[in-house]
Structure 1
Amino acid sequence: MPRPSAAELRPVVHPAGVKDRRSGEHWAGRLYMREISLRIDPYLVNTRISPNQLTYLMVVAGVLGGAVLLLPGLPGAVLAALLFQLYLLLDCVDGEVARWRGQTSVTGVYLDRTGHYLCEAALLTGFGLRAADVFHRQGPHPGWLWAFLGTLAALGAILIKAETDLVDVARQRSGLPAVADEASAPRSSGLALVRRAAAALRFHRLVGGIEASLFILLAAVLDACVPAGSGLFFTRLGVAVLAAVAVAQTLLHLVSILASSRLR
């Protein structure tokens, strides 16, 4: 079959509303990655590679992004950031190929969501192990506190996603349709104000895969710029910050959902 052009693909793989989804589209996708993926799609849509296989590759890229953080210094952090850009690209491409071929499926959605859980948890856990310096630290007591904080951040990132996904589970089991964006505003004006402030600050996004990978890279750059005796100061500070953000966001997000119309 002839290879379709980006212009032919666009109305099918980027239907109206795809880039405008408040909870389903990453800002980096809207900003640049959807345009990059549109140039990759023509080379994939006529191959034997299935959308689900692309999702599996996305998961591999994300998990490797967490694993390479065990490499010390800037190389590990740079590789992690690059692998998470690949993760985002594959996250765009798998759905676009599925839409072009008419192969969207419940299985594909499930794999995609599970992949997001796994990859973001791998990144934050890897960050904690990087801060613990378990393979390079001298002495009998590695910094397991940092590994614990990284794992705590990973757990928070998973719980935040689970809280959102479980809304639709609860509604479906109660015979209600999936939640719409307009139904997500908290009923309390005070909670609405807090939610708007959090959204403006964007602090909650720090535990997302793309944002966290860039945050980790920044910490590695700062560590590389300070005297050698400072060790992993900025990396460890970063782990503590992400753990605090994850715990706070988990609780605030839960309260926001319980106080909203999403469960009504």
Structure 2
Amino acid sequence: MHKPSVAELRPVVHPAGVKDRRSGEHWAGRLYMREISLRVDRHLVNTRVTPNQLTYVMTLAGALAAPALLVPGIPGAVLGALMVQLYLLLDCVDGEVARWKKQYSMAGVYMDRVAAYLCDAAVLVGLGLRAADLWGGGRIDWLWAFLGTLAALGAILIKAESDLVGVARHQNGLPPVQEAASVPRSSGMALARRAASALKFHRLVLGIEASLLIIVLAVVDTVRDDLFFTRLGVAVLAAIALLQTLLHLVSILASSRLK
């Protein structure tokens, strides 16, 4: 069976605007993963594999980041990051295969969002459990597991705050929100939003960024032969997640998205 070339696939699976979506495309997708996914697509588009099946595997990959991070030291950090990269790859591939096969599904869209929630949460919970030192042989310090779970809850709430804008608008018979409506009506709030966007500190609680940070923390902790930086990372990410949950909620309420 003929396998389409990358050149044949690209205009179909990467229509105009796919890589330019401000809130729908991760920087890693634009930078490298969309090119990798094209090479994977050509082996799948003429098989019986469905987009939804790929989405289910993607969801599993994201969830497996948590147990992967329980492996001590650098190997566990790398394994966790690889699970997240597999999640990202399949997140690209499932939609691209759907466009080629013209197999669209509300269930697929729904599971895609579930997987996004789950992957971010799995990485942060896994980080908290790493910091608790489950396999260290000494007393398990559950404070770090609690903080990791708190960070995961914040990461989920941030996504939920955005998604619930669409729910609220739909229930009130309003069309989907336009990008311009996300700009806060208050000039002070708009300035604060631009500053936060420029610093991008909030991205650290996303699964991809957090998994890369965990590798760095694992390396320096290996040099020190303790978990100081992993535990510091948990505390910082928990603080960022809670602060961003509040700031994001205020930003939504101060914008025109609910008008």
Question: Fold-level match, TM-score > 0.5?
Answer: yes
Aligned residue in 2 for 1:46: 46
Where in structure 2 are the equivalents of 1:100-119 lying within 5 Å?
100-119=100-119
Aligned residue in 2 for 1:213: 211
Task: Give 2:206's aligned amino acid.
Answer: G
Aligned residue in 1 for 2:251: 256
Aligned counterparts of 1:61 and 1:118: Cα–Cα separation in 2 = 10
Where in structure 2 are the equivalents of 1:196-235 lying within 5 Å?
196-226=194-224, 228=225, 231-235=226-230
Where in structure 2 are the equivalents of 1:115-194 lying within 5 Å?
115-139=115-139, 142-194=140-192
Aligned counterparts of 2:185 and 2:63: Cα–Cα separation in 1 = 38
Aligned residue in 1 for 2:72: 72
Task: Give 2:148's aligned amino acid.
Answer: G
Contact kept in structure 1, 2:72 and 2:135, CA below 8 Å: no
Aligned counterparts of 1:98 and 1:182: Cα–Cα separation in 2 = 29
TM-score by length of 1: 0.96
Answer yes or no: is 1:59 the counterpart of 2:54: no
Secondary structure in 1 aligned to 2:134?
Answer: coil
Aligned residue in 2 for 1:246: 241
Aligned counterparts of 2:60 and 2:105: Cα–Cα separation in 1 = 21
Pairwise CA distance, 1:59: 1.2
Residues 66 and 180 (structure 1 numbering): CA distance in 2 closer, same or farther, change over 3 Å?
A: same
Contact kept in structure 2, 1:67 and 1:123, CA below 8 Å: no
Secondary structure in 2 aligned to 1:262?
Answer: coil
Task: Give 2:239's aligned amino acid.
Answer: A
Aligned counterparts of 2:255 and 2:137: Cα–Cα separation in 1 = 47
Answer yes or no: is 1:19 the counterpart of 2:19: yes
Aligned counterparts of 1:183 and 1:15: Cα–Cα separation in 2 = 25
State the 4+ residue runs in structure 1 displaced beyond 2 angstroms: 134-137
Task: Give 2:160's aligned amino acid.
Answer: A
Deviates more, 1:204-213 or 1:127-136: 127-136
Q: Which runs of 5+ in 1 are unaligned?
A: none
Contact kept in structure 1, 2:205 and 2:240, CA below 8 Å: yes
Pairwise CA distance, 1:136: 2.3
Pairwise CA distance, 1:182: 2.1
Aligned residue in 1 for 2:98: 98
CA RMSD of aligned residues (A): 0.9
Pairwise CA distance, 1:137: 4.1
Aligned counterparts of 2:242 and 2:160: Cα–Cα separation in 1 = 14
